Chains A and B, each alone.
Chain A
């Protein structure tokens, strides 16, 4: 729920595609995370493309609250909607929101962190000030307030989550950038007259990719959790689009009569978050500051 435990504490490294692939497949932990996330991502993509056994929105009252069967793999809910299709669509929805939220946070946060760390001075003070303010604002409350301001769509929910998570990216990138700018070849590049933005993008940014990748993975799990919590409070994805959080919320009253309505979205949301955490953990160990890990 909190964000502090999810800060990428890794060494700045230049990450190549091949290196990343090796990092992903080398340890069992990462591999497990990769498999779980992979399977759920495929489901999510299929759901977004509409390839589902049933329409997740169509109500079929005569077939309400059916137990899992060959026809309805995870049973049906109180409106006779297919729980499997809804869970799949919910995963798609969660994945979409999490991905967009983290993408926004990563781009803006990294850019701000780069500027603050590289240029120092006023921009550093200003960016640092804003970051501190966002940090001190209770995160769930910030998301809550933002969700009530905008007319809610999946995208505004993503933006709300992104705003909460941007400062973390600022913080994890700024420090390493501070030390990188003192490194000889960066100084040399500046002194040879290359423009500062060019140096920043060509020599500094590539060296913090390890941090960004790990942070992105960890943030994804956090974003999924936040979206679910917001939906649970009635401030997440607007209905009728299924969301894992709102499905759990609706199923609470059904848990004694039809436990599958709760179990299915509950287990899937746990699996999704766990998968992303495993992936993040594995990557963090791989790029660990002290070169330990990589079990």
Chain B
């Protein structure tokens, strides 16, 4: 077993991932401290000017800012390894708790977006590929182009303001409902944001599907099957799609990784309490531990998704192993 893992370069990949995460930790730590201001000024604003030196010292020790930077860094990293992600003074909760609340929300949003993207992207891609350079191909391509070109924030703001002011439809005005508390409301609240994100992700999936289908369709065994008289539709679904799944799966995995960290704007507009908003708020408030730990969690998720995709890919497609 271990041999196989080593042979497949898995151990190396894992080591690489650990190094990557450490690098992310360093970068986020440094960048945060380069942002002007600290948690005291973020909290008190210009009122911080009225603090006496003793008051300021009391606050610095309260926020742990009186520690040397290296102590802060390794203290934080050490805590992380023991599962302590730090404490958010603003929310008065541990960062771990906050993240446990926010991560599933973003995860759900990402899953729904990917599902919608697959539902839109795969059929359109197959439709496009079924008759290249025809009107239906053009339709598919135009939809794909629109998905790539319409910024998420534009689509999101247009949808909210028009739906709310014209039709009074605004599930996101309700308090956010978690899926297991109120699935119906939750899905309503997730509908628009995942539609917006899914539309953007559908484009590359559409394109990948189209290319993959075209490519597979020109392979020998499909030609043979066609010559044998296997009906076109069955052929497409059975053979072509199955073989096209590898690139689609890869693409989906990558997109999913990005969605975990890249949905800030959409979360903001639709009041979705996800991980992106958590980081944004943390940056605005100079909550160092909060931002550092959350970014690390996002990076971890990204690295894991990549690692899994990679492994999956190796399993599905034996040729990769040789590479």
Contact = CB atoms under 8 A, between A and B. Distances in A.
A144 B34 CA distance: 13
A229 B153 contact: yes
Contact of B151 (A135, A136, A228, A255): A228
Given A2-B258, A4-B258, A228-B151, A145 B32 contact: yes
A132 B16 contact: yes
Contact of B23 (A1, A2, A133, A292): A133
A186 interface: no
Given A133-B20, A138-B295, A2 B157 contact: no
Contact of B149 (A4, A255, A277, A290): A277
A141 B149 contact: no
A295 B161 contact: no
Given A221-B148, A270-B154, A1 B264 contact: no
Given A4-B254, A129-B23, A229-B151, A137 B283 contact: no
B199 to A, nearest CB: 11
A136 B264 contact: no
Contact of A266 (B152, B154, B161, B295): B154
Contact of A138 (B36, B161, B251, B298): B298
Contacts of A145: 28, 31-32, 35, 283
Interface of A: 1-5, 129-130, 132-133, 135-141, 144-146, 148-149, 221, 225, 228-229, 232-233, 245, 248-249, 252, 255-256, 262, 266, 269-271, 273-274, 277-278, 290, 292, 295
A233 B251 contact: no
Contacts, number: 149
B191 interface: no
A295 B133 contact: yes
**Top 8 A-B pairs ranked by shortest CB distance?**
A138-B261, A5-B204, A133-B23, A274-B149, A2-B258, A273-B149, A136-B299, A4-B254
A148 to B, nearest CB: 5
Interface residues of B, number: 56
A132 B19 CA distance: 9
Nearest to A272: B149
A139 B150 contact: no
B152 A1 contact: yes
Contacts of A141: 261, 264, 276, 279, 283, 295, 298
A146 B31 contact: yes
A278 B21 contact: no
A139 B27 CA distance: 13
Contact of A137 (B132, B148, B299): B299
B302 interface: yes
Residue in B145, B151, B299, B302 whose Cβ sees the most chain A Cβ within 10 Å: B151
Contact of B34 (A149, A249, A273): A149
B24 interface: yes
B201 interface: yes
A267 to B, nearest CB: 10
B23 A4 contact: no
Interface in B132-152: 132-133, 145-146, 148-152
A272 to B, nearest CB: 8
A140 B35 CA distance: 16
Contacts of B262: 1-2, 138-140
B283 to A, nearest CB: 6
Given A136-B21, A136-B299, A144-B280, A232 B145 contact: no
